[in-house]
Amino acid sequence: MLTVTWGCHSNEEVAPSKPVHPPLHVEPPLTDFNASLPPPEVTRTEYPGAIRLEVTLDVHGISSWNRRYKKFFGVANESFQSKNEINASAENTNHADMYFEYYGIGSTDYEYTHSLDFPESAPTTLFKEVKVRPAIIEYMATTAPELLQSKFEDSPAVENNFVGNYEYTTPGSTYVFKTDRSPARYGLIKILESDGGYTGPDGFFFKVKLEIVFQK
């Protein structure tokens, strides 16, 4: 088992890893999105048949955050991209299987076709909310990654839910997914923490912690 902690590489300047916190009654300073962006924090653990990523996306910024923050994720190359980056080429768009928000997870093609430059290249990833114990997640990651496929294909969805390309999320919820690839890649996302919202006319904050387990 190999565990590595890393951040996404970017040509943009990276914010300090230990910012000085302002007094509690003062809002954190807004990020200038024409300058630097904090990359996602990622801890990667590799097993014989699966990869586990523990991901933290955390930003305080202005309303244009969604074009420059790296919230799009590609399973095959474990990449994080911003909307500006996936719009740079059809290949970049095709590499993005899904994206993360503080209130949901979605396939790249969901709701973004009106603002994607290469919508025909956006894959359709499917999600299903399921009930699964932490011990089973650990077993699937370390020993039986094939169960990620059977969990998606054979297990019932949570009551009043269904398979789709977008899911509204709550902390503690778990989702299995199937990528739009040949062959398909199966995986699991557990929402550990999520929060976000507006802090004024232009201010915005966004924080998500999640665990991703997927087949090699």
Integer Cα distance of 114 and 150 in angstroms: 34
The DSSP bridge partners found for residue 126 are 178
The string of DSSP codes covering 109-156 is: TTTTTTT-S-GGG----EEEEE---HHHHHHHHHT-THHHHHHHHHSP
Integer Cα distance of 174 and 184 in angstroms: 20
How large is the angle between the packed helices 134-142 and 146-154, nearest 10 degrees? 130
Q: How confident is the model over 106-159, as pLDDT tens digits?
A: 999 996 666 899 999 999 999 999 999 999 999 999 999 999 999 999 988 887
> 189: which DSSP letter?
E
Per the listing, tokens 């739009």 go with: 180
pTM score, whole prediction? 0.80
CA torsion angle 203 105 165 134 (round to 10): -170
For residue 63, what pLDDT is reported?
Answer: 61
Smallest CA-to-CA distance from 200 within 22, 19, 27 is with 27
Q: Which of 45-59, 150-164, 170-184 has the lowest mean pLDDT?
A: 150-164
Contacts of 182 (CB under 8 A, 6+ apart): none
Q: Which of 23-32, 88-97, 193-202, 203-212 has the lowest mean pLDDT?
A: 23-32
